[in-house]
Amino acid sequence: MPIRKPVLKSLLGALQLLRRTASDRRGNVALFAALTMTGIIIAMGAGADFTFTQRRAEQLRGFADAAVLAAVRPALLNQSDAVSKQTALSLFKAQAATIAGISVSNVDVTITDINGGKSRSATLTFSAASTPMFAGLIGMTSLPLSGTTTASGSKSTNYFQVLFFVDISGSMSTGSTSDIIAAMNADPSLGCAFACHDPNGYAGGVDWREVARSKGYTLKVDSEVSAMRSFIGALQTFQANNPTANFSTGIYSFGNFFYTNQVPTTNLSAAMASASTVDVEPVQAWTPATNWDYTYTTQNLKTMISNITNVGDGTSATSRLTYFIFITDGVEDVPGSHPDGRDSDTTYTNLCAPLIQQYGGNLSIFTIWTDYPSTTDQQYSYLVQPIYPNIAPALQSCANPPGVATNGEYLLATDGPGIVTAVNTVLQKILALSTARLTK
């Protein structure tokens, strides 16, 4: 490293003064002055050495900072600890070699994985010696340098997955609002208002669902479709404004059977088109075994769980933070002992806590209860009414199991517009969570 001109000028001036003093023949004064000036020159040289050494130390510390930052950059966090360590060592040594007058005697890098490998810290410690220019006159051949620096980084969280699990049982063919239900009840051309779910016309030869729609009546299932399409459209806008975000969306529905409407896809336009295909489940022709169909929520939720893949910490397309949106009327309808051979329960929610725990917090469940309207229907009185007080607590425990850390949430939708509002509320929370985790 070159000596600054002011320092060099001062040293030269001191040497010239010493030369003049040494030529002075005026006895002890001359000798004393010469000795004094020698000390001054050595002291000034040592000060210059100190300044140069500090500058070299600053350069080494800057190189150490760059090395540990390189070790924890996102691209390396998916590599092994050994790769991160070698990256830091190689970079530091290569840069240190460019400083003249420096000899690095020891350098070590410690890599520490944090939070199960989601984050990583790198600590670099070095020892070196700086060769002095003037201190050698008094026997100091080197000046020691040392330093320690640490940096940490987290894996990029840019990959997300949204899975819809949507109830399409008979209750979803109810009118979407209380006014529509009342109008359907009062309409002499309609044969039902509570469960118009007979697209095949097995009960009387009429598809009451389509009759209702032809008269302008919006059904709950129509609100489910509208809510999903709005949700997916908002995801498209979010991705356009956040290019690092990568969302995958899957759509599944259930009633008597399990249906795959859309396997998870990053093609959100395709997902939106698939959402439009969701409709109330057709009824099978009556037999003692089918009994106008049931709602096998537990069985279908198990099938849904078996279809969940690629859940993880959000760092890759095969390791996505996952949001599971469960829209249901809350009632499981199964063969039982009631007059028409049916029974009901909410025990399917026992599957929720194990599902969340299985993925260590990387999967959140959002439950939306599409509350039944009060009705005098006979089936309602013995299937819904007895378990009605249990439905909300069961779905709450599904979204937020006691003692389980999760970002999930339970929401109530009292009618069709309420379904749209609830799904939008879930959307806003998911986007907030996703924005907080995005690495740009």
Instruction: Report how far residue 231's alpha carbon sits from residue 436's, in angstroms, rounded to the nearest whole number.
Output: 19
Instruction: Report how far residue 328's alpha carbon sits from residue 66's, in angstroms, rounded to the nearest whole number.
Output: 53
What percentage of residues in the chain have a pLDDT greater than 70? Answer: 80
pLDDT band of 35, cuts 50, 70, 90: very low
CA separation, residue 94 to residues 55, 127, 248 (Å): 18, 15, 43
Q: Provide the strand spans (E) within 234-373.
A: 246-254, 258-265, 321-328, 332-335, 342-345, 363-370
Instruction: Please say whether the beta carbons of 42 and 134 come within 8 A.
Output: yes
Asked whether the predicted pLDDT for residue 243 surpasses 90, the reply is no
Asked whether the predicted pLDDT for residue 11 surpasses 50, the reply is no
Asked whether the predicted pLDDT for residue 4 surpasses 50, the reply is no
Tell me how crowded residue 378 is: count the other CB atoms within 10 A of its CB.
12
Instruction: Report how far residue 318's alpha carbon sits from residue 311's, in angstroms, rounded to the nearest whole number.
Output: 7
**Who's near 286: CB < 8 A, 6+ residues apart?**
202, 203, 292
Segment among 69-73, 163-167, 248-252, 344-348 with least mean pLDDT: 69-73
Instruction: Report how far residue 219's alpha carbon sits from residue 119's, in angstroms, rounded to the nearest whole number.
Output: 48
Mean pLDDT of 108-129: 88
Segment among 119-123, 154-158, 275-279, 287-291 with least mean pLDDT: 154-158
Asked whether the predicted pLDDT for residue 409 surpasses 90, the reply is yes
Mean pLDDT of 68-87: 86
Asked whether the predicted pLDDT for residue 10 surpasses 50, the reply is no
18 or 345, which is more confident? 345
Q: pLDDT at position 12, please?
A: 45
Report the DSSP pairing between strands 258-265 and 246-254.
antiparallel
Mean pLDDT of 123-133: 86
Instruction: Report how far residue 251's alpha carbon sits from residue 259's, in angstroms, rounded to the nearest whole number.
Output: 9
What percentage of residues in the chain have a pLDDT greater than 90? Answer: 47
CA separation, residue 193 to residues 85, 172, 281, 388 (Å): 69, 11, 16, 20
Asked whether the predicted pLDDT for residue 77 surpasses 90, the reply is no
Instruction: Please say whether the beta carbons of 270 and 262 come within 8 A.
Output: yes
224-241 pLDDT per residue, tens? 999 999 999 999 999 999
Asked whether the predicted pLDDT for residue 250 surpasses 70, the reply is yes
Instruction: Report how far residue 157's alpha carbon sits from residue 346's, in angstroms, rounded to the nearest whole number.
Output: 35
DSSP helix/strand/coil, 198: coil
Q: pLDDT at position 138, please?
A: 53
Tell me how crowded residue 240 is: count the other CB atoms within 10 A of its CB.
9
Q: pLDDT at position 1, please?
A: 39
pLDDT band of 165, cuts 50, 70, 90: very high
For tokens 């499981």, the residue is: 332
Q: pLDDT at position 226, please?
A: 97
Asked whether the predicted pLDDT for residue 440 surpasses 80, the reply is no
Average pLDDT over the chain reads 83
pLDDT band of 3, cuts 50, 70, 90: very low
For tokens 């990959």, the residue is: 159
Segment among 139-148, 178-187, 221-230 with least mean pLDDT: 139-148
Q: pLDDT at position 257, please?
A: 96
Asked whether the predicted pLDDT for residue 197 surpasses 80, the reply is no
412 or 195, which is more confident? 412
Q: pLDDT at position 15, please?
A: 45
Q: pLDDT at position 131, please?
A: 77
| Domains and their CATH numbers in the chain | 5-154 (no CATH), 159-437 (3.40.50.410)
Mean pLDDT of 397-421: 93
